[in-house]
Structure 1
Amino acid sequence: MTAWRLDWPTAHGERLGTAVLRATPEDFRVEEIVESPFSGDGEHLCLYLEKRGDNTEYVARELARLAGTRPFDVSFFGLKDRHAVTRQWFSLYRPGRADDADLIRAVGERWSVLEQTRHQRKLRRGEHDGNRFQLRLTDVRADRAAVDERLARIRDEGAPNYFGPQRFGHQGNNLDRAVADGGRPRRGRNFKAGMAFSAARSWLFNEVLAERVGQGNWRHMLDADPWSDEPSGPLLGDGGTSANGELAALEREVVERHPAMAAVFSQTRMKPERRALQLPFSELTWTWPAGDCLVLSFRLAPGGYATALVAEFIETVGGEGPANAAS
């Protein structure tokens, strides 16, 4: 087992202290944002559920069982964590079913059904408009004025868009699996192998972003980016990073520091992608309802990690478990 780096440098100075994140699930609330209306008719029943203590994939499997359908007939916009109170949409493929009342009643015995509608196609990953978070940090052991100043700076200048350490598995075991697979072709790749490959891409992205943070240029364009008009980093595939000039040289240099990880991408047959270097959040506000309790509220675009914002100013300890991307 390799001792992988799973904590990356902050952009605005050392963390200011410690706090407990999610002493209870109610301390971590997530609500999906869907601004485009559903069609109101079609073959897919869409349910907006509130859940506590259940992760997204478990709920999807249970919905399939309750509906008497196949697991892949249940879809959702993104994964939400178990150790939280979350509100998210699920779609169930139910062609030719005019009456959903019995199913909705059965679902309501397990989770709160907040809304229901029909749609002409299934929900797809990342097609929602984002997620709204309310995080309650308790036992905050840091100077309040310093926290206020740091949060104001994050609000005004942004935060690095790191993937959260939970993406890499316990002690980086997803990364160990990726390296063990090496660069072998991935035809018929199973779910765990796919998770490992995704973890490897994400880890190298974090390494490149950490280099940019260290150089102080993570918020600046180095070369024209064919994918974006904002600074971005690599999600590797065939052909490496597919960046240009100075940017390509920097990214290659970082990747070459990790030859075992770079070998994972020698025969991927996957197209390289890019990811923004700046965390896509907005509407950040915070209050101190008690002396050692801090409540953060913000909106985050799909694919971002709430923990990346928190880690920019404080170290979290204790709690019930790691927070997911809530993508």
Structure 2
Amino acid sequence: MTADPSPWCLDWPVSGEGRVGRAVLKLSPETFFVDEDLGLPGFPEECGADQRQGEGEHLCLRLEKCGDNTDYVARQLADLAGCRAHEVGVCGLKDRHAVTRQWFSIQRPGREAEDVDFVATVAERWPVLACHRFNRKLRRGDHRGNRFRITLVAVEGDRAAIEAALNLVAREGCPNYFGRQRFGHNGGNLDRAIADAKKGHRPQRRRGHGNRQKAGLYLSAARSWLFNAVLAERVRQDNWHQRLPGEPDPQRPTGPLWGDGGTRSTEVQETLERQVVAAAPELEAVFAASRMSPERRPLVLLPGQLEWQWPSVSELTLTFHLQAGQYATALIGNVFELQDAGGLAASG
């Protein structure tokens, strides 16, 4: 990954024999396509704006966007609908430097008769691929995952080695790191989390929706960084595929999403996790009064239906499916040193 002057480690060890190539990511939005897989019963994937389905007080629209990030579109939809921003729901955040398809929900109780005109207004800004009435707001993580079609350009490296590395990822997965964008420019979100903690700010009690949202973002960045640090140590020890003694998940190896009290693991695994986190005492201190319950996240990212083709000797197109909350850059960055030409690629 591209180096930067951050005091924080924002690059993590990879699995296998290391990165075997170099490539440019997101040369144009068309080279990074993301299609949200909602997976909720009854929702249409693509049926046209005039074929509304379902019932409920929330109008859900599947939009295609390019050049706009998710928060911007949500705010614009709120303005068009005459509602408050928090009455617009999304399942995940999608990058502006990409072509993305995703669902938005807008709370519009008793206004079903106005749907046709409202959808037509929205369609003047973004293509509306499907409509659906639903009985509740869409929430973060509601979706099943995302489908990706990503074309890397200026690819360098031995083709046989690149394909061997991709085959290994397809079979065994790769480390399930949070993406660098989670941490802000040069790790700025981590610095803000520490600053807030030193001032005694508790995110859940801050006044103003915008302040609470930002505080939550910084806190999320801190626990994501600690997770990556633990996973990185597991990769160095070559046991990231294994359940260690004290693993609280009965089926798969997981790492800590730190909270008040630290981790839910015990025995060998708890010792490892607390030792890693203790090396970042300022971040550990962020959670002393956070009232966030410790949670877990899988250590292994196993993509679905990973396939690839070479449009030319220096271009590689990858298609795959990831579960919600997983990052395409974690997969691609496990194989390639990446130069990001368009900004940091989001999950969602």
TM over 0.5: yes
User: What is residue 165 of structure 2 aligned with on the other side?
Assistant: 150
User: What is residue 221 of structure 2 aligned with on the other side?
Assistant: 199
Q: 1:116 aligns with which of 131, 134, 137?
A: 131
Q: SS at 1:182's partner residue?
A: helix
- % identical aligned pairs: 53
Q: 2:31 aligns with which of 12, 27, 37?
A: 27
5+ unaligned residues in a row in structure 1: which ranges? none
For residues 294 and 233 of structure 1, the distance between their equivalents in structure 2, rounded to whole angstroms, comes to 32
User: What is residue 104 of structure 1 aligned with on the other side?
Assistant: 119
> TM-score scaled to structure 1, two decimals?
0.96
User: What is residue 159 of structure 1 aligned with on the other side?
Assistant: 174
Number of residues paired by the alignment?
326
Q: Could you tell which deviates more after superposition, 202-211 or 182-191?
A: 182-191
Asked if 1:242 is matched to 2:246, the reply is no
Q: SS at 2:175's partner residue?
A: coil
For residues 120 and 175 of structure 1, the distance between their equivalents in structure 2, rounded to whole angstroms, comes to 37
5+ unaligned residues in a row in structure 2: which ranges? 44-52, 207-211
User: What is residue 323 of structure 2 aligned with on the other side?
Assistant: 301
RMSD value, Cα: 1.4
C-alpha contact (below 8 Å) 2:172/2:302 kept by paired residues? no
Q: Report the alpha carbon displacement of residue 216 of structure 1 after superposing the two structures with TM.
A: 0.4
Deviations 1:156-211 (A, max 9, x none): 11100000111000000001111222363504232222111110000000000000
C-alpha contact (below 8 Å) 1:178/1:193 kept by paired residues? yes
Q: Report the alpha carbon displacement of residue 34 of structure 1 after superposing the two structures with TM.
A: 2.5
For residues 122 and 323 of structure 1, the distance between their equivalents in structure 2, rounded to whole angstroms, comes to 26
User: What is residue 180 of structure 1 aligned with on the other side?
Assistant: 195
User: What is residue 148 of structure 2 aligned with on the other side?
Assistant: 133
Q: 1:261 aligns with which of 280, 283, 288?
A: 283
Asked if 1:37 is matched to 2:42, the reply is yes
For residues 104 and 216 of structure 2, the distance between their equivalents in structure 1, rounded to whole angstroms, comes to 23
Q: Report the alpha carbon displacement of residue 3 of structure 1 after superposing the two structures with TM.
A: 0.3
> TM-score scaled to structure 2, two decimals?
0.91
For residues 320 and 291 of structure 1, the distance between their equivalents in structure 2, rounded to whole angstroms, comes to 22
Residue identity in the other structure for 1:86: T
Q: Report the alpha carbon displacement of residue 262 of structure 1 after superposing the two structures with TM.
A: 1.0
Q: Taking structure 1 as reference, are residues 215 and 261 closer, same or farther at Cα in structure 2, changes over 3 Å only? A: same
Divergent runs of 4+, >4 A: none
Q: Could you tell which deviates more after superposition, 11-20 or 50-59?
A: 11-20
For residues 4 and 162 of structure 1, the distance between their equivalents in structure 2, rounded to whole angstroms, comes to 15
Deviations 1:29-87 (A, max 9, x none): 00011232247111111111000010011000000111111111110111111100000
Q: SS at 1:295's partner residue?
A: strand
Residue identity in the other structure for 1:265: F
C-alpha contact (below 8 Å) 1:76/1:123 kept by paired residues? yes
